[in-house]
Chains A and B, each alone.
Chain A
Amino acid sequence: MLSIYINGAGCISPQETAAGGPMLANLREYEQVKLATVDPDYKQWIDVKQIRRMSRVVKMGVGAANLSLQAAGIAMPDAIVTGTAYGCLDDTGVFLTKMVNQQEEMLTPTAFIQSTHNTVGGQIALLLGCNAYNNTFVHRGFSFENALLDTIMMLREGSAQQILVGGLDELTPHSYQILSRFGLYKKEPVKTMELLNSPTCGTIAGEGAAFFTLGVQPGTNTAAELTGISTLYKPMWEGEVIGHIMKFLEDNNYTPNDIDLLVTGRNGDIGQDEIYEEVVEALFPEHPEASFKHLCGEYPTAVGFGMWLANGILADQAVPEAAMFYGQAPRRIKKILLYNHHQGTHHSLVLLSHVE
């Protein structure tokens, strides 16, 4: 089977991930229920005439995409694939609010135009002048995973050599307010470094953008190969999840013992984290485990942050202390299994291998 390499990664998140330098060197710790991105100066990538219409999610997408292309040394990808569950929420809220408040009168086009879910993918293409394949997946907790699957299929089909693929979602005052009413988040602020051991229900809200340049040839800085990806929709019970993970490893000719590090999407919600416990107990009882949602918060495309972290771990051959959840990372980290679920209904697996 054809190998697929992560030749560049870019991430904008509630950590200082856009700044470069050692991964999570300046850890941002929070004591709140929602985390916002640490924004770089977007004008380094977007000129002032274009930036004026862009909402935050568009800017963070363009920023992360550029970071990823720069890291890969690629000027023009052969395709652009984006995953976003919520799309451009801020502009959607702006247009809806005016529509309601102004009784459908005297509305302006900018927020509407920018509210469409493919705005980020379209703007990246526009800024790069990229006429190639462009697609946007908007499937809840599978948005980023579907974008990755599309990318992997395309690289295997041979119709592209280098593909820019990313996942992103923004949090807005409206979305936070409404999602809070669904009981998704903690009632009281919690220290992010203590989130994963929290004994209560609910998690913390987050946001961010992670883009990757995937190719069929490794670049000079390539550290990881994307070995496989799989999703499981609405499993009936824990046993189905465990069985699915076993089958996924088998399909890639691995056993749990081949995995050097497990990276999980624990989010500090005692109800939602239970499945990670079950999976660890059944398949990875002695495995070292890292986690990431205490660093970026929970959102439907947070797996993108997890994959960015896993890629960085393979490059550094070390796990940042703030990400370590259980045990100690081995001296050599060759294979990482990323297991995440979103709201118990969307489970996904990403398998990364170290490239020497």
Chain B
Amino acid sequence: MEQLMADLKKQIIEQLNLQEVTPESIGNDEPLFKEGLGLDSIDALELIVLLQQHYNIRIANPEQGPEIFYSIRSMAEFIVAQQTAKA
């Protein structure tokens, strides 16, 4: 889980071109949207593609976004749950 969260931070910074943000500066439980990193609805769509590219997970309904992408930890937990379900 720790490794997954560390990977996610790097992937998010790259995908969203977050200049002047380091992986260390993102807290595992910090909200990603609005406050915290200040991401918006377009970023949510970018993150949906990120999950597809890196983890082969498809999200068909963008309305699930806010829950899954609440924080790094919620994203990681979602990925683990999806991978477990598949296995």
Does A associate with B in a complex? yes
Using CB atoms and an 8 Å cutoff, list the residues of chain A in contact with chain B: 48-49, 51-53, 106-110, 113
A108 near B46 with CB under 8 A, answer yes
Residues of B within 8 A of A108 (CB): 15, 45-46, 49
B60 interfacial contact with A, CB 8 Å:
no
B87 to chain A, nearest CB (A): 23
A110 near B46 with CB under 8 A, answer yes
Which of B16-24, B25-33, B64-72, B74-82 interfaces with chain A? B16-24
B42 interfacial contact with A, CB 8 Å:
yes
Q: What is the interface of chain A mostly: helix, strand, loop, or mixed?
A: helix
Of the residues B18, B20, B42, B53, contact of A113 by C-beta under 8 Å = B42
Using CB atoms and an 8 Å cutoff, list the residues of chain B in contact with chain A: 15-20, 38, 42, 45-46, 49, 52-53
Residues of A within 8 A of B16 (CB): 52
B19 near A106 with CB under 8 A, answer no
Beyond A48-B19, A106-B52, A113-B42: 7 further Cβ-contacts under 8 Å? A48-B20, A51-B19, A52-B16, A52-B18, A108-B45, A109-B45, A109-B46
B42 near A49 with CB under 8 A, answer no
B46 to chain A, nearest CB (A): 5
Residue of A nearest to B53 (CB): A106
Residues of B within 8 A of A107 (CB): 49
Of the residues A49, A109, A110, contact of B38 by C-beta under 8 Å = A49
Q: How far is the CA of A49 from the CA of B38 in the complex (A)?
A: 8
Residue of B nearest to A113 (CB): B42
Q: How far is the CA of A49 from the CA of B42 in the complex (A)?
A: 13
Residues of B within 8 A of A109 (CB): 42, 45-46
